[in-house]
Structure 1
Amino acid sequence: MFEKYNEKARRALFFARYEASKLGSRVIESEHILLGILREGEETVNEIFRRFQVKTEDIRREIEGERVFVERISSTAELPLSEESKKILAYASHEAESMLHATVGSEHLLIGILRVEGCTAMRILAQHGFDVYTVREEVLAIAKEREASQQKKELPFLSEYGRDLTALAAEQSFDPLIGREEEVDRIVQILSRRTKNNPILLGEPGVGKTAIVEGLAQRIIEGRVPIFLANKRIMALDLSLIVAGTKYRGQFEERLKGILKELKESKELIVFIDEIHSLIGAGSAEGSLDAANILKPALSRGEISCIGATTLKEYRKYIEKDRSLLRRFQAIQVNPPTPEQTQEILEGVKDRYESFHKVRYRPEALRTAIYQSSRYIPDRHLPDKAIDVIDEAGARVKLRRVRDTQNLRRLEQEIRQVVKEMKVAISDKDFERAVYLREREIELREDLERMSVATDETGVLEVTRHDIEEVISSWTGIPVAALQSEEAERLLKMEDILKRRVVGQDRSINAISRAIRRSRLGVSNPQRPVGSFIFLGPSGVGKTEVARQLSEFLFGSQRTMIRFDMSEYMEKHAVSKLIGSPPGYVGHEEGGQLTERVRRQPYSLILFDEIEKAHPDVANLLLQILEDGQLTDAYGNMVDFRNTLVLMTSNIGSKLVLRGGRMGFGEGSEEASFQRIEEEILAELRRTFSPEFINRIDEVIVFNPLGERELRSVVDILLDDVNNTLSERGLHLEVSDPAKEWLLARAGVEPSTGARPLRRTIQRHIQDSVSEILINQHGEPVERIEVDLEGDKLTFHAGAQEIVIPSR
């Protein structure tokens, strides 16, 4: 029965029999076992009592004070265990097994006593603040401290500059490894070699290289490895700690030699070096060896086993150049998991995050995290970015509980105040106010009830798809809200919204709207930009204005528009400004004007104004963007353009449009006129750009010249802009129709000039005059200014004042 008990536990039970005999008991009770534990004086038990600040003599006196002395029994007599004592021994064995301890000790007997509710020993210990959970934690903490102290004696260098991954795996400090069976098996296979048994994991940041090594440590603890690995320990080496504080020559080499000596002497150790490329040059000084050269002989002869991990970029830059170091490692490629594999990984780790954040993840939240992080965070890799998304979403929802608690308290306090006032109103027979307060109470209670909607039946807050979308949006600035009914309705009305600001270009707006809807509904190719268009037409017809309004409609602000004036890129050497200068040239470190802007602002509208003025190499550069939705900059980094809208404007064919006149004059001639002019313009476009460039454009859109009706609408739009500016000063401007006609005539608008002269005319005759009026008021407030026409002059009425501004 006592085979699994260590010597100290057996002695404690022997002393328990002695104490029972001494106190005249015919059975060994719980209090006798406690006295036996105290008499034996095991170090762990003594340390626990010290931490609880309880003296063992006090416990002994209390137990002896409760016993009534009877006829003394011979100490050599065999005494049976009471039922409570049998339970204590059973619980002690269970505790030792659950803690993965090889034998049952006195500390386990102490926990066993605390687990038997109602026994005398448990009652006495409870009076001094002992409880089973705290004592269990203290036992584990003391065992860990002793193990670390023992390890530090055995492995002073590795204990100082490394971490025991197998010990951490035994404590369940790592998330479970889902999948990656092939990579772990490959590591085991390479470790089985006689020489050069050093695997190196290669993969992009975030694909799970370190997690694979942690998974191997978990396998070792669980016994799911071959016999030769069963007793191995994986030590993770921290190179920065080794280098830190080495002020004098030889200190670094001394530390590294000490680590090598411990690794050679302890054959059960496997060293893991994350970011192993940092070995190159680490600790080197003039005339001395770096860490890589110190380790090479031991690695080559198989005296130590080393697992490395690094990225492909650093591997090519550092490891491959050192051929002697390269041949000592066997490379294992770690590719990012597929979305399906990432789903399994998230399902496997979500319990940890649910427990930490005290939330619950809905299944659609995990799927959304994978899909949207893949789509909108292209510069990071699965599963790392998806795990980070659900982690932050859990934190966001957890913080909501704090805000909800504050709001609940505020509402409850307000309800109490309303009820109090209602009672006063009833006592004063003010029934009208009482009815009002009753309605207010009902409203507040409804608000109180609505605040619990986000929780499920158990009261646990849930992480939903919407929470994931909010995190993605905060990271990227991209409004990735799901296609809800209100957004779908907004997309359906896209033409109407754009036509409020852009007049006379119905064909263009209809074509653009169709392309945008295809992209937002996921019908178009997701690997290409949202849309790519060339706007053709005369100056001043609204090409740039359409770009501004699209930027505001799609991305929430006109500031998200990235504009390039292509007249600045007419020379061949200027093309490099878009993607960055090659290595060795001035400005290489600054990056490209296009690539850097898109990397920082991935969800934006890119406008290449007057594209025909750019050097032909610019069009060749854009081919990659238009077809694959990405571009390689001078650093070799891939910049993602899949969430951008690419617009190009050009004046090619402007003369043809103007010569063709306003389309739509003459019944039934609009379609024929449009097709005829469009064919001529496309022919001229093909003479300017290559076929492969034109074929990658979604649509070539020809803008019409503005007619008199459209120009009147432009006047209204420009005056609305002036009113919006004046409204910030609390001022409203009212312009009569005759005054608008006067402004239109004054502008002298022609088809070749477009609507731009109208802006100058309004600025000169309206805005300048309003400025003079405000100055002449000497600070007195003006709320309304009316503009009318008298003869050939504009008149401005500001309150009771009438001011005539002569024509300029």
Structure 2
Amino acid sequence: MAANKKGKIMGMMQFSNDLRRIINETHEEAVRAQSREILPAHYMLAILHSGKNRITDFLESEDVDLQRFESFLLADLQRVRIASRSEDRELPISMAARDVLDRTALEAENLGAKTLEVLHLFLALLQRAGDSTHRFFVELNVDCELLRSKLLYHRDFFNLEELLLSDTPSTDSLFGMSALGNDNDASDGDDEEEESGEEKDSSEFCIDLTGLAQSGKLDPVVGRARELERLTQILCRRKKNNPVVIGEPGVGKTALVEGLAQRIVSGVVPRQLRSKRILMLDMNSVVAGTKYRGQFEERMKNIIDEVSKRSDTILYIDELHSVVGAGAASGTMDAANILKQPLARGFFQCIGSTTIDDYRKQIEQDAALARRFQKVELDPCSEEMAVQILLRLQPKYEEYHKVRYTREAIEACVALTQRYVAERALPDKAIDAMDEAGARAAVCQWHESERVRVIANLQEVAQGSLELLSGDDEQYASMRQQQHALGLELEYASKECQENGNECVEVTEETVAAVVSMMANVPIQRVQASESERLLQMESVFVKEIVGQDDAVSVVARAIRRNRSGLRDPNRPIGSFLFLGPTGVGKTYLAKVLAKYLFESERNFVRIDMSEFQEKNSISRLLGTTPGYIGYEEGGQLTEQVRHHPYSVVLFDEIEKAAPEVYNVLLQLLDDGRLTDGAGRVVDFKNTIIIMTSNVGSRALSEFGAGIGFSTPSRKENLCERERKYIEDALKRQFSPEFLNRIDELVFFNSLTVDDMEKVLKIEIEKIRKRMGELGIQVKLTKAALAYLVKEGYDPKYGARPLRRAIQRYIEDLLADALLRKSALESVVIDYKEGVGTFIKQQRTDRRLEGVH
């Protein structure tokens, strides 16, 4: 009856993949031992020879000498050894071996498992008194019952609890141990095995970084010694030994882990890490294809189980924040919750990497997950370190692109990307520029060979045309001449291509400039132009656009040249200025022109209207809301713009209208060149020009009819000492001494005279002519019309703004009416007459276009 019960249990239960593999290998063990039949000792040998597994790990933890165990089993089998047998013949299973399998089924039933595991087989071998396995431990004075209790007590250490309670057999091994096909022992599980076979092999979910390092497929890692040491220390801890690398995109988080893999392969690590393997988990592959509830959790548990089996394995999860919510559905757990318990119990080691923002939004919000990891912060590398990194990578890119990089090109990759590709971090953006520059040089060489091919094809066409023409035809002579010219061009191009083909193409600084120009969408002329040339030409360029403010332009230009020449404190902004003067004299316009000239685009002009920051709590709009408030993720109005455009002109318009608390925030910016936003990020202002505008003292001073050129017939070139002191006293009453002391220059703007207004008018009229010229219409103004516009638009209290309104009223309105009435206008002359105002004196219509709409 007992035998029948065991047989029924065996028939009802299913073999795991590992146990099926052990049983199949048992036959090979018996053949190698030249035994008559399969004995219990062959099961134990198959377990020992299957590589590192849970049972061998447990025995080693109990100080069992596995080699001695193997020798004992082989010696015991010598008693039943025969001379020879055919390996093709199927060996019978002995009664003792069958009894072991029956005991295996009983062990599984007693433990509440629904799948037969290798653990149950080992427990059955321990139970059979007199067998080789039992006698070995008896000779070692080891109590088999005590050994069994320890194994069952520590089964959580091996991560077996999930397997013992699993409803289905485990999927294929993470390390490539494929499941066996159907056999007699599992004939009842055909459907389940077929369904399981549709699952991906778990090895497809991971990439062996140490294997790639062993084969030399990883790029070298330069520097980062401090971060690598911190990473190593955390991995060598007894508990909470799971590091997470945090840094901005492109700083080299993945490269840091690859550097650790290279150190492990080279043996330049502590003893605890020398035999480790680093497997990088692809979370997207794990989630892909999980259609039904529970499939994702099963995959994750199987992966964790396989990693836990191997004490020499470290799991690396890139983009660690992706595990939060991954695979989650109604009634299921996400990957983060599946990882928490195994990490807490130390079943396996894990390295994560993520960005600062994603760590704050995803990982820190889950305190239970965050405390399982130790942070390793990775800052962007310096320009000097980036150059060293590119020099180490240079041979690999030269070999791939078949080019040669000059030292100047390497340095340009770092300098130009740091200047023009502000939204990305070093060294990633410099490596991208280096790679694309090599590709550009290789493509240019291909274009030369393509040119030779095109010329050769044209010559063949010309030869075919000659054969169709007669010798006396004029076309024949012309075609003959063209063929000769093509032959000479082909000979020259082929020779040039051959010379370039024999020589390695050189990547120069100009090649890098062209690539960075495309990456940053900046005109190549700007990228290639020397900054020193632009700085020296500032006054000559600005005075053409800024009317009547030569002194202010000169002060700003001198200060910027002084600071950019290297004499300034490198931890402060390029320059900080306070523009003083009445409204409408060009303070804001000078800031815009400065941004466009120095930083290539008005996109690098950040304007903050300080009239919007009159409340004490409005500081949060500049720096960003503190965590917990609505809009926290959006960042600050000032810090976000400078973070994405670090080379900018920052204008604080009408600074005196802001709340006094805002001035205190600007102290750190002016002194240290940095601000900390609401999210805790440090924003760098070292490459910005800070400009503040103010009307403080101007209104009161204008009432005296003097100073800063207000309504005086002839403006003084320099402010007198009394006028300057009056304005400075007004500034001291408005701003604190520590604020004024941090400003590089006080720049005084004069009011505009009548002569200045005439120059401004000519500039504005020229803009109108240019716009109308694009429509094919010429616009002219008489002297009377110009004089009338200056008269109507001149108001020393408001500067050039009234002139802008006068142009709209007396010029643009007339042109708009004329355009609507006569769609085919060719030219317009605008005049002025007393009592009539401005009018169109003469207009000519293109008769050919009349009636055409």
- Choose which of 199, 203, 207 in structure 2 pairs with 1:163: 207
- Choose which of 721, 731, 739 in structure 2 pairs with 1:693: 739
Equivalent residue letter for 2:773? S
Shift in alpha-carbon separation, 1:779–1:207, aligned structure 2, 3 A: closer
Pairing of 1:695-774 with structure 2 (within 5 A) = 695-747=741-793, 749-774=794-819
Shift in alpha-carbon separation, 1:224–1:573, aligned structure 2, 3 A: closer
SS at match of 2:307: helix
Give the CA deviation at 1:681: 0.9
* Pairing 1:202–2:252 present: no
Give the CA deviation at 1:654: 1.7
SS at match of 2:597: helix
- Report the equivalent of 2:593: 549
Shift in alpha-carbon separation, 1:652–1:317, aligned structure 2, 3 A: closer
* Pairing 1:654–2:686 present: no
SS at match of 2:825: coil
Q: Distance in 2 between matches of 1:332 and 1:410?
A: 57
* Contact 1:378 1:640 survives alignment (8 Å): no
Equivalent residue letter for 1:635? A
Q: Distance in 2 between matches of 1:607 and 1:679?
A: 25
Equivalent residue letter for 1:721? K
Q: Distance in 1 between matches of 2:323 and 2:218?
A: 26
SS at match of 1:538: coil
1:491-516 deviations in whole A, cap 9, x for unaligned? 43322222222221110111122234
For structure 1, the residue ranges without an aligned partner over 5 or more in a row are 1-146, 802-808
Equivalent residue letter for 1:563? R
Q: Distance in 2 between matches of 1:225 and 1:575?
A: 49
SS at match of 1:635: coil
Pairing of 1:520-559 with structure 2 (within 5 A) = 521=565, 523-558=567-602
Shift in alpha-carbon separation, 1:351–1:613, aligned structure 2, 3 A: same
SS at match of 2:247: coil
- Report the equivalent of 2:552: 508
Q: Distance in 2 between matches of 1:221 and 1:528?
A: 44
Equivalent residue letter for 1:716? K
1:47-80 deviations in whole A, cap 9, x for unaligned? xxxxxxxxxxxxxxxxxxxxxxxxxxxxxxxxxx
Q: Distance in 1 between matches of 2:495 and 2:654?
A: 54
Pairing of 1:419-434 with structure 2 (within 5 A) = none
Give the CA deviation at 1:163: 2.3
* Pairing 1:345–2:389 present: yes
Equivalent residue letter for 1:723? R
Shift in alpha-carbon separation, 1:239–1:682, aligned structure 2, 3 A: same
* Contact 2:421 2:520 survives alignment (8 Å): yes
Pairing of 1:120-519 with structure 2 (within 5 A) = 151-152=177-178, 158-180=202-224, 195-196=238-239, 198-205=241-248, 206-221=250-265, 232-246=276-290, 250-276=294-320, 304-310=348-354, 336-374=380-418, 380-401=424-445, 458-476=502-520, 488-518=532-562
Equivalent residue letter for 2:259? G
Equivalent residue letter for 2:739? F
SS at match of 1:660: coil
1:93-131 deviations in whole A, cap 9, x for unaligned? xxxxxxxxxxxxxxxxxxxxxxxxxxxxxxxxxxxxxxx
* Contact 2:585 2:800 survives alignment (8 Å): yes
* Contact 1:657 1:704 survives alignment (8 Å): no
* Contact 2:581 2:708 survives alignment (8 Å): no
Q: Distance in 2 between matches of 1:699 and 1:393?
A: 42
Equivalent residue letter for 1:753? Y
* Contact 2:253 2:378 survives alignment (8 Å): yes
When the two structures are superposed, what TM-score results if normalisation uses the length of structure 2? 0.63
- Report the equivalent of 1:96: none
SS at match of 1:507: helix
Give the CA deviation at 1:367: 2.0
Q: Distance in 2 between matches of 1:399 and 1:179?
A: 33
* Contact 1:662 1:707 survives alignment (8 Å): no
- Report the equivalent of 2:148: none
SS at match of 1:342: helix
Equivalent residue letter for 2:796? P
Q: Distance in 2 between matches of 1:342 and 1:770?
A: 57
Give the CA deviation at 1:699: 1.7
* Contact 1:158 1:237 survives alignment (8 Å): no
SS at match of 1:593: coil
Give the CA deviation at 1:774: 4.2
* Contact 1:157 1:255 survives alignment (8 Å): no
Shift in alpha-carbon separation, 1:675–1:427, aligned structure 2, 3 A: farther
Give the CA deviation at 1:783: 3.0
SS at match of 2:826: coil
Q: Distance in 1 between matches of 2:501 and 2:720?
A: 63
Q: Distance in 2 between matches of 1:292 and 1:398?
A: 46
* Pairing 1:593–2:637 present: yes
For structure 2, the residue ranges without an aligned partner over 5 or more in a row are 1-172, 181-198, 846-853
Q: Distance in 2 between matches of 1:785 and 1:640?
A: 53
Equivalent residue letter for 2:764? L
* Contact 1:419 1:441 survives alignment (8 Å): no
Equivalent residue letter for 2:797? S
Equivalent residue letter for 2:786? K
Shift in alpha-carbon separation, 1:162–1:421, aligned structure 2, 3 A: closer
Give the CA deviation at 1:613: 1.9
* Contact 1:209 1:309 survives alignment (8 Å): yes
Q: How many residues align?
A: 646
Give the CA deviation at 1:693: 2.2
Shift in alpha-carbon separation, 1:415–1:580, aligned structure 2, 3 A: farther
1:624-679 deviations in whole A, cap 9, x for unaligned? 33333333333333344444433322221223156215659999994664443222
Give the CA deviation at 1:711: 2.2
- Choose which of 568, 579, 586 in structure 1 pairs with 2:623: 579
- Report the equivalent of 1:26: none
Q: Distance in 2 between matches of 1:481 and 1:525?
A: 30
Q: Distance in 2 between matches of 1:290 and 1:241?
A: 15
- Report the equivalent of 1:633: 677
Q: Distance in 1 between matches of 2:594 and 2:296?
A: 60
Q: Distance in 2 between matches of 1:722 and 1:692?
A: 46
SS at match of 1:783: strand
Give the CA deviation at 1:354: 2.5
Shift in alpha-carbon separation, 1:408–1:253, aligned structure 2, 3 A: same
1:522-541 deviations in whole A, cap 9, x for unaligned? 55445444433222212232
Shift in alpha-carbon separation, 1:762–1:244, aligned structure 2, 3 A: closer
Shift in alpha-carbon separation, 1:756–1:370, aligned structure 2, 3 A: closer
* Contact 1:664 1:673 survives alignment (8 Å): no
* Contact 1:208 1:383 survives alignment (8 Å): yes
Equivalent residue letter for 1:368? A
Q: Distance in 1 between matches of 2:320 and 2:601?
A: 45
When the two structures are superposed, what TM-score results if normalisation uses the length of structure 1? 0.66
Shift in alpha-carbon separation, 1:286–1:728, aligned structure 2, 3 A: closer
SS at match of 2:678: coil
